[in-house]
Structure 1
């Protein structure tokens, strides 16, 4: 699977007509695969596409493109403030979700998350980030199960928010869903991540320097 960095949207050319989860095919607008820098150090994983992502095809999209996670990325210098919300210019960041399709009436089932897992695993393998950022409880559970030696039941998103968890090959920096954060929680996460970015966070994993 080759990367096409000329496009931030679905740069690995994953199946945009996927029908692996039949009950998600009818309600979805489109399949929303990962978006961003294929050589990113920071990989964000949410639970499922937002309503706006389902319309625009961009993970974590919001109505005006200046709220939520993208606003936090702008404050970190990881997204350009004047970029088009339909094609945000993220820097050193890759964005994806556990499931690629949205049912507006319900969250994904465990079976649907399991069915989509090969897409996520392929993105993590190809991007080979340094830091994984699970966004929300469901993403933390999935990422912790796969990439730490501790049971997922050890982690609770409220307590893990704005902390660093040592994983197997990656560090995890969990985040509450942006729309659920208080201003204080947002500031705490940003300050923690700024400190991490200023540290020697890169591990020896055979990746080339940026």
Structure 2
């Protein structure tokens, strides 16, 4: 992974660092967001949020409740087990979301993450991640892949199951509980049968 990537000149000017994937490289569950958070841009670990941000829940809290993250691990270096975190884009502009071109420029990094981790389940976090992963890995028409409708559901894909999630900070308590219950049921099932084995 290129720590000095210059594929998106505008983002090179606004980022603190390139934020590549992080977590258990043998994970069954790969979580994909849209872009690094402000804290992730500062620290270099996807999905990090400020500890004093009380708005909504965080992905870390969700992972802790599923025993995919050690609750005693440092805030800036979560100890993940069976989970890997990444984004559609690796760099952050603090004032805007990534363009389609920037997502396209980062696609080789995302593809490399998916190929090397070879997960069983992809978790698109947010609308943009669902649209991108849904287009690439399912036969479901993209206009049918919307949130919150697809939140806490399993979409059978080409090689993967997708379990979409509304952005954690935007979830209601009921949405968080629904997603946790759905994902816990998936984890307790023989979810590996949902995936057609691919040659690496």
TM-score by length of 2: 0.94
1:30 to 17, 21, 24: 17
2:192 is aligned with 1:205: no
1:71 to 61, 80, 84: 61
2:180 to 165, 190, 202: 190
CA RMSD of aligned residues (A): 1.4
1:118 to 93, 103, 108: 108
TM-score by length of 1: 0.90
Q: Please give the secondary structure, in 1, of the residue aligned with 2:68.
A: coil
Aligned positions of 1:1-210 closer than 5 A = 14-64=1-51, 68-203=58-193, 205=197
Which of 1 and 2 has higher RCO (CA within 8 Å, sep 6+)? 2
Which blocks of at least 5 consecutive residues in structure 2 are unaligned? none
Q: Please give the secondary structure, in 1, of the residue aligned with 2:114.
A: helix
Q: Please give the secondary structure, in 2, of the residue aligned with 1:184.
A: helix
Q: Please give the secondary structure, in 2, of the residue aligned with 1:143.
A: helix
Distance 1:155 1:206, change over 3 A: closer
Shift of 1:65: 9.0
Cα distance in 2, alignment partners of residues 82 and 99 from structure 1:
29
Which blocks of at least 5 consecutive residues in structure 1 are unaligned? 1-13
Cα distance in 2, alignment partners of residues 121 and 83 from structure 1:
28
Shift of 1:151: 2.2
Cα distance in 1, alignment partners of residues 28 and 170 from structure 2:
25
Cα distance in 1, alignment partners of residues 179 and 47 from structure 2:
17
Number of matched pairs: 194
